[in-house]
Structure 1
Amino acid sequence: MLVTRDVPILGSVSEPEFTKQIPAGRSDQPEDVTDVALYLASDLSNSVTAESIVVDGGLSNTQ
C-alpha cells in the first residue's frame, strides 16, 4: 500500500502494483514537482502562459 505521511492513498493496491500502471515506471518524487516549480520560476518559462502542468509520470494519460 502506498502511504503518504502515514495515510494510505491507494486502498488495497500495493506500490509495485500501482507503479506498473505508470508509464514512467516509477512513483513520483517531491523533486519531480520542485523541478517543475523551478522551471516555471526561471526565465526559461517566459513564454509559458495559462498552462496546466501535470506531474504524474503519465498516469493521467492512461485512464
Structure 2
Amino acid sequence: MKLHDYAVMQIPLYLIVDPRERTVTLFSEPDHDRYHTRTDRKFGDGIGIPEPFGFTLDLAVLVPYKD
C-alpha cells in the first residue's frame, strides 16, 4: 500500500485529491510505517501545507468530475 510505503520512506507529505468525492486528504508527520497526522478537506476549502513548504493550498480552484 502506498501510504505505508511512503511513510516508511519518510516522505514528509502525501496529498490525495479525489475529484469524484470532491475531497483532499493530506497525510503528514511520517514515523516508521505510518503517518501521525491526517487532514481532510472538501473542494472549496483551503488546506494548510506544513513545512518544508508552508503555505495554504486553495481548494476552490479544483474541478470535480462530472456526474
TM range (shorter): under 0.3
Q: Give the number of the structure whose residues are more often strand, by fraction.
A: 2
Provide the TM-score with structure 1 as the length reference.
Answer: 0.22
Q: Which has the higher contact order (CA 8 A, sep 6+)?
A: 1
Provide the TM-score with structure 2 as the length reference.
Answer: 0.21
Q: Give the number of the structure whose residues are more often helix, by fraction.
A: 1
